[in-house]
């Protein structure tokens, strides 16, 4: 009998997580829930490594949730992700299927696995009008009075700062509204390669995706009316290819800097996973070089 409600497969980029997740879902009569903060966007495929072929196992297609659920350029966030996760999760259970959660976005993985308490916070027009009288510096001070501001993403623009303050004030005046996110008893498996291999794989995959039309994909998004700043904000592929397309980087600089940025990203992902382990999550790591059948057997032994 199964000891867990869910199987989670995580790991840094370019480790073959998705194929393994699809394989396990196929085996367990399950469906995949993606934990990827960029694959949620439609039309962002090559640059996010969204490969639909990964979901085809032995000729049948494993259903996949939380991919292609927002338009490129739209705003998305952890709260929204958590909300949509639970809907998809319950839908999967109601159909008697087994959920396999798979991805590399640490914050999104943790929001689900740890059950972050996040509340729907409505916008408050009159409060926003009041706050908009303040300068960005003053807003930053107000926000600091509510919480420790650990990075600048909340205080880069007045709109962001006002929203952050709005959330803090709402939570303070409505302390009972925090809803309990169900605690999930998930088996967590991590896939990783040694550092040198990880880097080689990232570089090889980047070259491959450039050949497959990644630049054209980004050009298409720009032609479709997306603002270069919005695309740049998505980071990595979308950032550096956009900078190349608007003439700020040569093709060679784009490749080199993007390659480095992806290596650095993979490192940050590993830092996040180590933090999760320090907090008490048990991640059963397996070597990416292990043949698929052995990976499956490894997970089977843990599941049953």
Partner RNA sequence: GGUGCCAUAGCUCAGUUGGUAGAGCAACGGACUGAAAAUCCGUGUGUCCCUAGUUCGAUUCUUGGUGGCACCA
Does residue number 164 form part of the binding site for RNA (CB under 7 A)?
yes
What are the backbone dihedrals phi and psi of residue 8, each rounded to the nearest 5 degrees, phi first? -115, 130
Q: Which of residues 108-127 bind RNA (CB under 7 A)?
A: 108, 111, 114, 116-121
Query: 220-259 mask for RNA (x: CB under 7 A)?
Result: -------------xxxxxxx--------------------
Does residue number 15 form part of the binding site for RNA (CB under 7 A)?
no
Does residue number 298 form part of the binding site for RNA (CB under 7 A)?
no
Q: Given its phi and psi angles, is residue 188 left (phi above 0), alpha (psi -120 to 50 degrees) or beta?
A: beta
CB of 231 to RNA, least distance (A): 11
Cα–Cα distances in angstroms (integers) from residue 267 to residues 123, 144, 174, in the given order: 37, 29, 38
Residue closer to RNA, measured from CB, 186 or 242: 242
Separation of alpha carbons 295 and 304, rounded Å: 15
Among 27, 42, 97, 160, binds RNA (CB under 7 A): 160
CB of 223 to RNA, least distance (A): 20
Separation of alpha carbons 9 and 21, rounded Å: 7
**Among residues 217, 189, 193, which one has the least CA distance to residue 204?**
193
For residue 156, the 8-state DSSP code is S
Among 151, 211, 252, 280, binds RNA (CB under 7 A): 151
Query: 68-87 mask for RNA (x: CB under 7 A)?
Result: -------xxxxxx-------
Does residue number 163 form part of the binding site for RNA (CB under 7 A)?
yes
Residue closer to RNA, measured from CB, 40 or 299: 40
The secondary structure element, H or E, covering residue 60 is strand 60-61
Q: Enumerate the H helices of the chain as residue ranges.
A: 17-27, 78-94, 106-113, 125-131, 136-146, 158-173, 195-211, 214-223, 228-233, 236-245, 251-278, 292-303
CB of 105 to RNA, least distance (A): 4
Residue closer to RNA, measured from CB, 54 or 237: 237
CB of 187 to RNA, least distance (A): 22
Residue closer to RNA, measured from CB, 26 or 239: 239
Site size for RNA (CB under 7 A): 60
Q: Which residues pair with 65 in a beta bridge?
A: 33
Q: Which of residues 34-53 bind RNA (CB under 7 A)?
A: 36-39, 47-49
Rounded to 10°, the helix 236-245/251-278 angle is: 160
Q: Which of residues 18-37 bind RNA (CB under 7 A)?
A: 36-37
Whether 143 contacts 154, CB under 8 Å: yes
Does residue number 55 form part of the binding site for RNA (CB under 7 A)?
no
Q: How far, in whole angstroms, is CA 23 from its chain's centroid?
A: 20
Separation of alpha carbons 185 and 188, rounded Å: 9
Chain residues that interact with RNA, rule: CB under 7 A: 36-39, 47-49, 75-80, 104-108, 111, 114, 116-121, 150-154, 156-157, 160, 163-164, 167, 171, 195, 233-239, 260-261, 263-265, 267-272, 274-275, 278
């Amino acid at each position: 009998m199964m000891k867990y409600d869910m199987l989670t497969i995580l790991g840094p980029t370019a480790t073959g997580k998705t194929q393994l997740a699809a394989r396990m879902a196929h085996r367990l009569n399950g469906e995949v829930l993606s934990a990827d903060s960029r694959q949620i966007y439609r039309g962002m495929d090559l640059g996010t490594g969204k490969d639909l072929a990964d979901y085809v196992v032995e000729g049948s297609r494993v259903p996949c949730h939380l991919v292609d659920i927002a338009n490129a350029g739209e705003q998305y966030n952890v709260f929204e992700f958590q909300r949509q996760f639970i809907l998809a999760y319950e839908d999967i259970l109601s159909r008697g299927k087994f959920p396999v959660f798979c991805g590399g976005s640490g914050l999104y993985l943790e929001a689900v696995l740890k059950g972050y308490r996040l509340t729907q916070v409505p916008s408050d027009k009159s409060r926003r009008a009041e706050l908009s009288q303040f300068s960005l510096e003053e807003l930053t001070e107000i926000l600091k009075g509510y919480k420790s501001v650990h990075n600048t993403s909340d205080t880069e623009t007045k709109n962001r700062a006002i929203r952050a303050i709005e959330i803090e004030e709402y939570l303070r005046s409505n302390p009972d509204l925090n809803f309990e996110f169900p605690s999930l008893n998930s088996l967590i498996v991590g896939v990783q390669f040694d550092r040198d291999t990880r880097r080689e794989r990232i570089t090889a995959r980047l070259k491959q995706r450039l050949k497959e039309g990644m630049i054209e994909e980004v050009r298409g998004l720009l032609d479709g009316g997306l603002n270069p700043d919005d695309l740049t904000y998505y980071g990595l592929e979308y950032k550096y290819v956009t900078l190349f397309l608007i003439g700020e980087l040569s093709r060679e600089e784009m490749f080199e800097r993007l390659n480095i940025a992806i290596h650095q990203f993979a490192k940050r992902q590993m830092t996040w996973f180590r933090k999760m382990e320090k907090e008490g999550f048990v991640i059963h790591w397996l070597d990416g070089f292990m043949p698929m059948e052995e990976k499956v057997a490894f997970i089977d032994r843990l599941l049953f």
